[in-house]
Amino acid sequence: MGVHGLKPFRLCLLLLLVTTSLHCARESSKKDDGTQNTGGGVVFNSTKEQVNEALDLALKLATEPDMTKNVFVQFWKDWGQGDKNESIAKPGHLFTRAETTAKAGNEVAPGERFESPALMALSRDKVLRSDKDCAPSATTEHTDGSVSSLTIDADVCFSVRNLMRLPQSSLLREILSLVLHEAVHMGGGQEPEAIAWQTLFSRYFGARFGDLSTDIIAAETLKTMGVARIFLAQANEYAGVNNQDPRTFAQMGKFAQALDSLPELRDPLALELKLKPKRPELIAEYSKSVLSLVQNIRIKFEVHTDNLRVNGIRFPLQFMPPEKVVPSLNEISVRFEQINELFLRMAGRNEFDKPTCVPPDGNNVMPIPFRQADTDAFPPKCSNEY
């Protein structure tokens, strides 16, 4: 039946529906509930509290004096110093001693400091958080952020209202990029240089950290630890029957590989940003404990020195005599459970957020909860009350 066969009422209703749907498809509107309705679906914008929280973290990461913890220093070492843009490769407006303190190929010692007056200026009480547009500066008309002058003494403005349009998944990435943009201006850099730094850093942040809104790292860590626990249990089972069973060594190799693959084990900053741990001060101890255990396992169970020869003379060295296999497995089991609980304490899983210890005789392979007040030391000492 054609259009002419429709009754007037039905024809009007059809035209109304078509007109409305076309209007909705073309229009992108921001709602009062913090969402934006677009042709591709609903995008959840950030709240004022989320923007301020991300801005707090961005300023903290930008002004961290330790080179191993400052995200902008790490970015320059990883990507910036090899960039084709000379203003980034030789960052006179951002780092005053970058070429001497963070040379290509050199490892940065923990606690090593750097000099960046432009970044350190952000730690002063000169950051304005505006509920409207920031005033345009002499170099740009964008109003998400601006500086009052191209000097260290400039006042810095960030528009919280404007930044609320960003989805939480990219909020920290975009705010950090904007903070870097304004820091370059405070060092005397013009708009093209500031944009170059901002654009490259945004790419770096995405490549290194990805989407921070998805809380999956805790689940991935616990899943990997669960797999590792299976390998360890199988090794214990084989060794309990025959302490020279080669399958014990094979399972311990798999156990070490599983531990070595724990998420962000070698990137403490990524672990902190993705996990958002309740006790970030335990991150370094967690990484150190895991890597130490992996090394211990590989020395005892994977290093074979039967063919070691010096001047043609064979020197058989036994890193793991048969009589030490089971005691070593017991020790490793204890250390593994301590690491597992350390992660839970660090992550803030309340149901497991209690310290553990091991009795002096070492016979029990599982950690025993103790009633003494928690301390920063790990593993803590047991009290006399079990």
Is pLDDT above 60 for 332?
yes
Q: How many CA atoms lie within 13 A of 176 on its CB side?
A: 25
DSSP state, 211? -
**Which of 188-192, 299-303, 350-354 bottoms out in mean pLDDT, i.e. has the lowest?**
350-354
- Rounded to whole angstroms, the Cα distance separating 167 from 350 reads 29
Q: Is 177 exposed, middle or buried (0-12, 13-18, 19+ CB in 10 A)?
A: buried
Higher per-residue confidence, 243 vs 96: 243
Is the pLDDT assigned to residue 88 strictly greater than 60? Answer: yes
Mean pLDDT of 12-30: 39
Smallest CA-to-CA distance from 180 within 160, 163, 205 is with 205
How far is residue 276's CA from residue 54's CA, in Å, rounded to a whole number? 12
What's at 366, amino acid-wise? M
Contacts of 174 (CB under 8 A, 6+ apart): 163, 166, 202
Structural tokens at position 19: 């007109």
Which residue's structure tokens are 């009795």?
359
pTM, two decimals, is 0.69
| 315 CB neighbour count, 10 Å cutoff | 10
Q: Is the pLDDT of residue 149 over 50?
A: yes
d(CA 371, CA 341): 16
- Both tokens of 130, joined, read 């505006």
> By the 8 A CB rule, do 117 and 151 touch?
no
pLDDT in tens, 122-143: 887 789 999 999 987 655 666 8
What integer best gives the mean pLDDT of the chain? 77
Can you count the helices (H) and strands (E) in the chain? 14, 10
Q: Are 147 and 185 in contact (CB under 8 A)?
A: yes
Structural domain boundaries in the chain? 48-209, 217-369
> What are the φ/ψ torsions at residue 369 (nearest 5 degrees)?
-60, 140
Distance from first CA to last CA of the chain, Å, rounded?
Answer: 85
* The token pair that represents 32 in the structure block: 């009062």
Checking if the pLDDT of 23 tops 70, the result is no
Please state whether beta strands 127-130 and 156-159 pair in parallel, antiparallel, or not at all (unpaired): parallel
